[in-house]
Amino acid sequence: MAAKQTQRWRGELLQDEPMSRHTSWRAGGVARHFYTPVDVQDLAVFLQQLAADEPLLWVGLGSNLLVRDGGFPGTVICVHGAVTMLEWLDDTTLRAGAGVTCAKAARVTTRAGLTGIEFLAGIPGTVGGALAMNAGAFGGETWTQVAAVETIDRSGQLHTRMPGEYRVGYRSVRGPENEWFLAAHFALQPGDAEQAQARIRELLAQRGASQPVQQYSCGSVFRNPPGDHAARLIEASGLKGRKIGGAQVSEMHANFIVNTGNASAADIETLLNQVQGTVEQQQGVRLETEVRIVGEHVDGQ
């Protein structure tokens, strides 16, 4: 893994770490190496000592990720619990680290009487993940509130970049290669703190009433196609409740695949592919996935 070693890193490096412990689906194989840095400086030191061709995977809460049963043949970097800075740059700009949960960022802003990212309370992931996919919920999208981002590259160099340096679309973000998000600068607007907090309570109640939040899932599996909803198309195809092994299309919300308790990553991926194929055959629409699928298959799968 390491190409050289000068200054010693300070974080925790695990070998053959089960990714089922670090993904919201609670399924998947092992990571060859799994690193949790102490802070950004420690992360930079660690990256500087990796081989240039070492495969890297960055995770927060693993809420939009499926690691195949054969595992990830490289190094996973976990920012949750590590890159968690949360500070005000001025009266209306919040600097939130990539490892901060979306819900916490939303709560902090509303308590300060600021509005703009209440919708993040409905996203079960971290700020880094929200930046990487332009996560959205209840009509809001992450990058509409971003004034700047901080990143780190493979050599451990830090950068501050503007939104104009990225191509941002619906659940899609493209920017400089081999850089990963460390923090977002959220530009917010003054508002009524009580109303903003009430809005968060309303969004969470709506989420709890319409989504299987008590079961293991990755959130929405498929992007909504233009002018339609993935859940409607899946339900119209008779797939609600469809099950393969321990994976099931949620009976509560058809755009969720849940782990009923013993699902393998292969169960989940097979069911996902079956949903995709059936909807295309019956509805004439090819659903695109939101979830990121990485790693290797087990022989025979």
The predicted structure's pLDDT at residue 122: 86
* pLDDT at residue 3, rounded to an integer: 44
Q: Which of 17, 150, 269, 290 is catalytic?
A: 290
Q: Is 8 a catalytic residue?
A: no
232 classed as catalytic: no
- What confidence score (pLDDT) does residue 4 get? 47
In this predicted structure, what is the pLDDT of residue 124? 87
Instruction: Map out the domains of the chain with their CATH numbers.
Output: 12-78 (3.30.43.10), 86-210 (3.30.465.10), 213-284 (3.90.78.10)
Q: What are phi and psi of 112, to 5 degrees?
A: -85, 5
At residue 2, the pLDDT reads 47
What DSSP line would sit under 62-114, residue for residue?
A: -TTEEE-TT-EEEEEEE-TTTS--EEEEETTEEEEETTSBHHHHHHHHHHTTE
- Is residue 54 part of the annotated active site? The answer reads no
pLDDT at 222: 96
Q: Split the chain (301 residues) into runs of 10 and give each run's mean pLDDT.
A: 64 97 97 96 95 95 95 97 95 97 94 93 92 88 97 97 96 93 97 86 86 93 95 98 98 97 97 98 96 88 58
pLDDT at 301: 58
Catalytic residue among 24, 217, 220, 250: 220
- What is residue 229's predicted lDDT score, i.e. its pLDDT? 96
For position 1, what pLDDT does the model report? 56
Among the options 26, 68, 171, 242, which is catalytic? 171
Predicted confidence at residue 23, as pLDDT, reads 96
| CA-derived radius of gyration, the chain | 19
